[in-house]
Amino acid sequence: MPAFLERFFNTLTALKHPGAVREFLTSKAFSTPCFQLSLALKSHQPHFEIIVDVGANVGQFALAAALHFPESRIYSFEPLPDVFDQLLENTRRKLNIKTFNCALGNRKDRIPFFRNEYTRLSSSLKIHENNKHLRYNQNLTCLIEVDLVKLDEFTTLLDIKSPSLLKLDVQGMEIDVISGGMNALSQIDFILCETALVNLYENQPLFDDIHCFMRDCGYELVAPLFINKGEGGRAIEVDLLYRKKASL
């Protein structure tokens, strides 16, 4: 099936969900892939007390999660100042979504950050020179600075309760984010991590690196939930759900 037809039918399927039509018509941040991802997540874990949304962009995942997990408190982190303003606007009517304007990493710092014109691809890492996939290959970036904070600094504020989810969509900084939240991990039951299968950014960890790291941190793979395809239909990223082994 051609990609545009697949997207069309996926959107129609998403709009069958109660509340999805309203979000589709009223929210600039409605995302069919994020809707599908949240729905797949719910099939494995029907309830979360807390969702920590790292790499929130304009709120695509947070809004989809708020539909599927209306009882959850959602904490969204977005480093780009102008994108954060859009995140605030898109979530202002959602009392269960709180937002923070910073990047998360393994230290407290002020760091250079490559802001991509297609903001979802923005990262502290450069796009790999051999990355020819759509949107990446345009490489329309400018260098800015953003605040970097450790997740552990928010542990008390977030008041994490079980069952809890850490969602990562951080363009190559997955291990750094988790490394800066080792204390918080004691309270995190599930991790949903977007993982690269090919080199999209310079020096980014790929699936094998992240999978081994997650196992070392005491988490096991539950299931792949969503696959992102690049040029020629090639799988380039996959959203993986991990569960703390003690949660079995």
DSSP 126: P
Q: Is there a contact between 239 and 193 (Cβ–Cβ < 8 Å)?
A: yes
Model-level pTM? 0.89
Q: How do residues 71-122 score in pLDDT, each as one tens digit? A: 999 999 999 999 999 999 999 999 999 999 999 999 999 999 999 999 999 9
pLDDT tens, position by position, 133-159 = 877 766 688 999 999 999 999 999 999
Residue 120 CA to residue 50 CA, distance in Å, equals: 23
Q: What is the set of domains in the chain, with CATH numbers?
A: 3-247 (3.40.50.150)
Q: Could you tell me the CA-to-CA distances from 23 to 16, 38, 90, 119 in Å, in that order?
A: 12, 14, 10, 21
**What's CA 248's distance to the chain center, in Å?**
24
Question: What are the beta bridge partners of residue 158?
Answer: none
